[in-house]
Structure 1
Amino acid sequence: MKQLHAAFIPGIDTAENLSGLSAALDLSGKHAINNLLWTKSGYRPEVNFVIGYTEQGIALKYFVKEQHTAAVYTTANAPVYKDSCVEFFIGFDTDGSYYNLEFNALGTALVGYGINRHNREEIPRAKVEKIKALSNMSLADGDATLNSWELTLLIPFEVFIHHHLTTLKQRGCRVNFFKCGDDLPEPHFLSWNNIPTADPDFHLPQFFGTLLFD
């Protein structure tokens, strides 16, 4: 299983300073989401992410280049996985439970909690709307050029309603990162840590990697 580290980002004192957070994340090393799963077309968007943390929550930035981009949903907990979607799954405990956090290119979020893909608990919309997002999108004029978009996210501790988090310093977690787009002209499924199964399913915590907050 893969392992990565998330560094503390000092000096970001307010969730309103997303441009500063985005610039700080640019100084971190990128990690590729490049395991192409469950499709035979060979279509593989170029997807990378960086991750860190602040005094307020988890800081995450995605970098995407793809042929087709859609961002239809604008309401928290809408089915953003049908759009151009990046996802972050994280489990803080050893009981198998984890949060799924899914975002379209606009930053619209869907967040749930549970131990597998079935019977997941939807995190209240009021909490999900606390997530701060900064989207930067550049759409191509023709098929010869890829669409490009970046998404910076600050996920406050209060989103994780089943855990009383005040800091992540020196904490280890189970994670995976994904890219999908169920309703795009070329549906695709990509993961950071590989999922060696025949049936499509991101909700397999046994294939999560490890994230260590420094």
Structure 2
Amino acid sequence: MNFLRVPYLNGIDQHTSLRDISGILDKAPRQQLVYVPWADFPYRPEVLFSIAHGCDAVFIKYFVKEKTVRAVNNTLNSPVYKDSCVEFFIGFGNEPAYYNFEFNCIGTHLIGYGANNTDRTLLPNEISQQVKYKSELTNDQNQETIGWELTLLIPVSVFYFHNIQSINGRQCVANFYKCGDELPEPHFVTWSNIQWPQPNFHLRQFFGTLVFE
């Protein structure tokens, strides 16, 4: 299982502009999604992310290069996993339930909470809408891939089923994903490896560890 320390950004919080956060994360260390756990879906787009926090919010930036891009879903909690999609799952303590944050390349998101892929409760719209995002196409016309980046600001208040005032010092379990169920080449790429017969990201036992410094 993977392990990652999440750095604290002094003076940066949920009120900091996404433009500033994006610039900071550009300079932060990047982690790559390297695992393609299911042989029937061998395509692996290039996916990296950087992550940090400001006590009252988690900041993530994804850097993606893939052959094709799909962005059909544009309403909150629509099935963004069918599009060009990145995901962040996080759980607290030893409880079996966890949060799933799923975003397509234009920032449309789906956020739920539960213990497995069939036991999900969507967060109230007014909570999910607290997540801020900045999406950008970065493709070079001379390349065979299309590039896009997505910067996320997730306030701790979005962890709706927990009373979290600060994430500083917490140890959590988490995984990061890239998928695209209805792309020409469906794919399932992970940060922490999964050993399971068929594609399923909702397996908490394979989450890695995050320590928020």
Aligning the two structures, in what range does the TM-score lie when normalised by the shorter sequence? over 0.9
- Quote how far apart the aligned CAs of 1:11 are: 2.5
Matched, 1:72 2:72: yes
Preserved CA contact (<8 Å) 2:14 2:57:
no
> Could you tell me which amino acid in structure 1 is paired with residue 89 of structure 2?
F
Counterparts of 1:155-170 in structure 2, within 5 Å, are 155-170=154-169
Could you tell me which residue of structure 1 aligns to residue 174 of structure 2? 175
The CA RMSD measured in Å over matched residues stands at 1.5
Structure 1 regions of 5+ residues with no counterpart? none
**Cα distance, 1:15 vs structure 2:** 3.5
Q: Which amino acid counterpart does residue 125 of structure 2 have in structure 1?
A: R
| Structure 2 partner of 1:17 | 17
1:48 aligns with 2:48: yes
Question: For 2:140 and 2:25, how far apart are their aligned partners in 1?
Answer: 25
CA offsets, 1:183-202, max 9 Å, x none?
A: 10100000000001111110
If the length of structure 1 is used for normalisation, what is the TM-score?
0.94
2:6 corresponds to: 6
Query: For residues 107 and 56 of structure 2, what CA distance do their matches in structure 1 show?
Result: 18
Displacement, 1:140? 5.5
Moved over 2 A (4+): 10-16, 39-42, 138-142
C-alpha spacing 1:171/1:14, structure 2 compared with 1 (3 Å)? closer
1:1-214 → structure 2 map (5 Å cutoff): 1-15=1-15, 17-40=17-40, 42-139=42-139, 141=141, 145-214=144-213
Distance in 2 separating the partners of 1:13 and 1:42: 39
Give the deviation of 1:41 after TM superposition. Answer: 5.5
State the SS of the aligned residue for 2:147. strand
**How many residue pairs were aligned?**
213
Report the CA distance shift for 1:212/1:136 in structure 2 as closer, same or farther (over 3 A).
same
Partners of 1:59 and 1:141 in 2: CA distance: 29
Gaps of 5+ in 2: none
Identity across aligned pairs (percent)? 46
- Say whether the 8 Å CA contact 1:39–1:189 is kept in structure 2: no
d(CA) in 2 for partners of 1:156 and 1:40? 37
Cα distance, 1:32 vs structure 2: 0.7
Contact 1:51-1:59 within 8 A present in 2 as well: yes
| 1:45 and 1:66 in contact (8 A); partners too | yes
User: What displacement does 1:13 show?
Assistant: 4.4
